[in-house]
Structure 1
Amino acid sequence: MSRYQRQDRFFKKAKHDQYAARSVYKLEELDRRYQLIKAGHRLVDLGCAPGSWLQYLSKALGKKGAVVGYDLADVEVNPGKNVRTWVANVEDLTPERVRADLAQLILDLKTKPAPEAPASVEASADEPDAAPEADEAPPPEEAAAPPAPPNLRIDGLLSDMAPKLTGIRDADQARSVAINGHALRLAEALVNPGGYFVAKLFQGRDTDEFVAEVKKVFKDVKLQKPEATRDGSREVFVVARLRKPG
């Protein structure tokens, strides 16, 4: 099968299945192979645009699950009420910020109906509310969200991030390792013992060093190249399971 036939097959399948991108089949294969995602899990998705992974996760997690996603770009779809996304530089994220965002989503799922607006959220100045009509009672004030518990944990952290490519192989690979190093630090702070970490990486001279760092945090670490990966691509996924206690 040629490279173009291979790409075309997954592209057409994504369109048929109504997913935002063909990359969903990479996650689907990893999940099927390693049995990662369970109903009710709480997850973080880094590099989540255009949103195909979020679509898959929303279905897999069910009503009791929750996933927060971050990307520099807007998410193009509304994956479901158990998903919330933010336009943000992932490298600026802190565990405290992620905990607060997840805690707010969990609270909203318990107290609010499904939102009609797209899931993507971007910070903006609040506009003043219009005054109520004379025969209308003002709406009840919403309770402020409680501070996120400092020990709030997640079941897994997924990263489909990729750096802006320069065409310089070593530089692109080094940048890939750098942004995934940040993802790993977030995973170390947030993932429950026994949980998992999945990250897309460009293979190169720093791959072994990065995998060694992942093995300090997770007991079982594999490199996997899903079938939907384009021919000739240097991308590979680090699949780490069984977060060590700590």
Structure 2
Amino acid sequence: MSGKDKYYNRAKQEGYRARSAYKLKQLDETAGLFGPGNTVIDLGAAPGGWLQVAAERVGSEGTVVGVDRQRIDDLEDPEATVEYVRGDMTEDSTKAEIRELVGTGEETGGPADVVISDMAPNVTGEYELDHARSVHLARQAFEVALDLLDSGGDFAAKVFDGQDLDGFEADVEQEFEYVRRVRPDATRDESSEVYLVAKGRLTAPVREGDTREVEIVDVGRDGDGIAKIEGFTIFVSGVEEGDVVEIRVDDVKPRYAFGQPVE
């Protein structure tokens, strides 16, 4: 039995609306996208196979929002709260409707824990064009994710492999703690699609390599100095409370960073 038949038949037998449901299952198993109670935004969600999986994974305390220009039939007895937004994901009115459904989020982030996209362009058969259009769609999803993800949130999007992927991945890496490429087993052998999975949305006012002058306002229990930039915490080694020093930022996490004095 071919891989296509295997997952197509499993989807029919197990009640999933699309064989792509197994890709999301495998992405979650590989990269740990979902947690109980998460809020998930599914971009380009029709016909709803990914919505079904996300609803299962986040459970009864979670919320999943499916966004698509097409109408999505309501899921039957989903485990999570599932909402539907019909509209263009890039329009402010669509994002405002999402926020109205799930909340505005914290000041340093958005209302979502995870943003996912399985969108792909209509294939023309001209590979370079199809690849470029897939990257364009993924970039649109990425921009939406930057607007809607809370600090520390995750993002996953499909893209066709090709010459523009490295540049797109580099842009995503600037906004997340780390990024990896994943090709789920459920992907057809002949397909060039791959998923970029980005973990740990960075909303910090600094990035690795930045230099800033800071005041050490406290000392942590491990002995590192604590500085604040726009309310964001930076742990600084080799300093004392009250010092005013120029530091270089060495490592940035979603909710804090590490730095050291510039020699």
Summarize the alignment of residues 212-227 of structure 1 with structure 2, pairs less than 5 Å apart. 212-227=170-185
1:99 CA drift (Å): 4.6
Match of 1:164 among 115, 122, 135: 122
Tell which structure's C-alpha radius of gyration is larger: 2
Q: Tell me, what secondary structure is at the counterpart of 1:155? A: strand
Q: Distance in 1 between matches of 2:198 and 2:39?
A: 17
Q: What corresponds to 2:16 in structure 1?
A: 19
Q: Decide whether the 8 Å contact of 1:46 with 1:159 is kept in 2.
A: yes
Q: Distance in 1 between matches of 2:98 and 2:111?
A: 12
Summarize the alignment of residues 52-201 of structure 1 with structure 2, pairs less than 5 Å apart. 52-78=49-75, 80=78, 82-90=81-89, 92-94=90-92, 97-104=94-101, 148=104, 151=107, 152-201=110-159
List alignment gaps of at least 5 residues for structure 1.
Answer: 107-147
Q: Decide whether the 8 Å contact of 1:84 with 1:105 is kept in 2.
A: no
1:93 CA drift (Å): 2.8
1:214 CA drift (Å): 0.4
Q: Decide whether the 8 Å contact of 1:214 with 1:240 is kept in 2.
A: yes
Letter in 2 for 1:86: V
Q: Distance in 2 between matches of 1:225 and 1:242?
A: 20
1:104 CA drift (Å): 2.8
1:86 CA drift (Å): 2.5
Q: Tell me, what secondary structure is at the counterpart of 1:157? A: strand
Q: Decide whether the 8 Å contact of 1:99 with 1:149 is kept in 2.
A: no
Letter in 2 for 1:219: E
Q: 1:6 to 1:77 in 2, by over 3 A?
A: farther
1:74 CA drift (Å): 2.4
TM-score under structure 1 length normalisation: 0.75
**Residues 98-147 of structure 1, C-alpha deviation per residue, up to 9 Å, x if partnerless?**
253343357xxxxxxxxxxxxxxxxxxxxxxxxxxxxxxxxxxxxxxxxx
The count of corresponding residues between Structure 1 and Structure 2 is: 200
**Residues 147-204 of structure 1, C-alpha deviation per residue, up to 9 Å, x if partnerless?**
x568442101000011122221111111111111111111112211211000000111
1:220 CA drift (Å): 1.2
**Residues 29-56 of structure 1, C-alpha deviation per residue, up to 9 Å, x if partnerless?**
1101111101111111011111011011
1:211 CA drift (Å): 0.2
Q: What corresponds to 2:186 in structure 1?
A: 228
Greater helix fraction, Structure 1 or Structure 2: 1
Q: Decide whether the 8 Å contact of 2:106 with 2:150 is kept in 1.
A: no
1:72 CA drift (Å): 2.6
Q: Tell me, what secondary structure is at the counterpart of 1:75? A: coil
Q: Tell me, what secondary structure is at the counterpart of 1:10? A: helix
Segment of structure 1 superposing worse, 78-87 or 48-57:
78-87
Q: Percent identity?
A: 35
* Counterpart check, 1:39 vs 2:53: no
Q: CA RMSD in A?
A: 1.9
List alignment gaps of at least 5 residues for structure 2.
Answer: 205-263
Q: Relative contact order: is structure 1 or structure 2 higher (C-alpha 8 Å, sep ≥ 6)?
A: 1
**Residues 8-46 of structure 1, C-alpha deviation per residue, up to 9 Å, x if partnerless?**
111111111100011000000110111110111111101
Q: Distance in 2 between matches of 1:203 and 1:27?
A: 18
Q: What corresponds to 1:239 in structure 2?
A: 197
Letter in 2 for 1:84: E
Q: Tell me, what secondary structure is at the counterpart of 2:65? A: strand
Q: Decide whether the 8 Å contact of 2:17 with 2:47 is kept in 1.
A: yes
Q: 1:105 to 1:78 in 2, by over 3 A?
A: farther
Q: 1:165 to 1:207 in 2, by over 3 A?
A: same
Greater strand fraction, Structure 1 or Structure 2: 2
